[in-house]
């Protein structure tokens, strides 16, 4: 049977928002990051990281650094007994400066491309899955594939909460990713 997944945004959700993250020194875990992922692992969810990295298209972030950052995150999580099952990023932007990445794509959230690809790669049941993020576009992407959606108030979350994008509202608004995990475990039980 296909697995349920929790799609976690990266910047402002799983790790601190740092503008365009371009150096490991600026990659900061929240105090609950490892616990949040480990709890989802233990509950049997596939954990999928989905992140827009327009800094690549804008020439601010090297594409190789995105992989380096994800290796770093994977190692920090592994040290705490936690695991992300799939890392997905969109390096594109329609107004980029690096030609190879300057385009409209289906993977940049609110597009659903990363979610669909992960579902194929990892055999996921999107209708029994969840999307967690600090921006409305994270949740729009999740909703478009039938996942339930949770806005966190870290990163840009408080600002986004103050500027609702109309209906439908997210399924939950919580302070941070560990509260999102608590909510997911409760409703999925
Ligand atoms: Mg974010
Ligand atoms: Zn893309």
Over residues 112-121, the pLDDT tens digits come to 999 999 999 9
The chain-wide mean pLDDT, for the chain, equals 96
Given a cut of 90, whether residue 26 has pLDDT beyond it is: yes
Compute the distance from residue 37 Cα to the ligand 2 centre, in Å. 25
Which ligand approaches the C-alpha of residue 117 most closely?
2
* Residue-level pLDDT at 46: 98
Residues with CB in 5 Å of ion ligand 2: 90, 92, 105, 107-108
Tokens, residue 19: 């503008």
Q: pTM of the full predicted structure?
A: 0.97
* Residue-level pLDDT at 40: 98
Cα–Cα separations (whole angstroms), residue 169 to 16, 150, 162, 173, 185? 24, 9, 12, 9, 20
* Residue-level pLDDT at 155: 98
11 is catalytic: yes
Query: How does residue 1 score in pLDDT terms, banded at 50, 70 and 90?
Result: confident
* Residue-level pLDDT at 49: 98
Count how many residues are written for the chain.
189
Q: Which of 11, 85, 134, 138 is catalytic?
A: 11
Query: How does residue 165 score in pLDDT terms, banded at 50, 70 and 90?
Result: confident
């Amino acid at each position: 049977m296909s697995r349920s997944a929790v799609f976690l945004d990266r910047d402002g959700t799983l790790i601190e928002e740092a503008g365009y993250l371009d150096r490991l020194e600026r990659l900061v875990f929240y105090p609950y990051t490892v616990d949040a992922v480990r709890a989802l692992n233990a509950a049997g969810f596939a954990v999928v990281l989905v992140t827009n990295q327009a800094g690549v298209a804008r020439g601010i972030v090297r594409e190789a650094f995105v992989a380096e950052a994800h290796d770093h995150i994977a190692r920090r999580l592994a040290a705490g007994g936690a695991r992300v099952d799939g890392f997905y990023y969109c390096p594109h932007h329609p107004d980029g400066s690096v030609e190879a990445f300057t385009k409209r794509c289906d993977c940049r959230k609110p597009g659903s491309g990363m979610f669909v690809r992960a579902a194929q790669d990892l055999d996921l049941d999107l209708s029994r899955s969840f999307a967690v993020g600090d921006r409305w576009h994270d949740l729009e992407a999740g909703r478009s594939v039938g996942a339930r959606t949770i806005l966190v108030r870290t990163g840009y979350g408080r600002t986004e909460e103050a500027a609702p994008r109309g209906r439908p509202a997210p399924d939950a608004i919580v302070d941070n990713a560990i509260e999102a995990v608590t909510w997911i475990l409760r409703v999925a039980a």
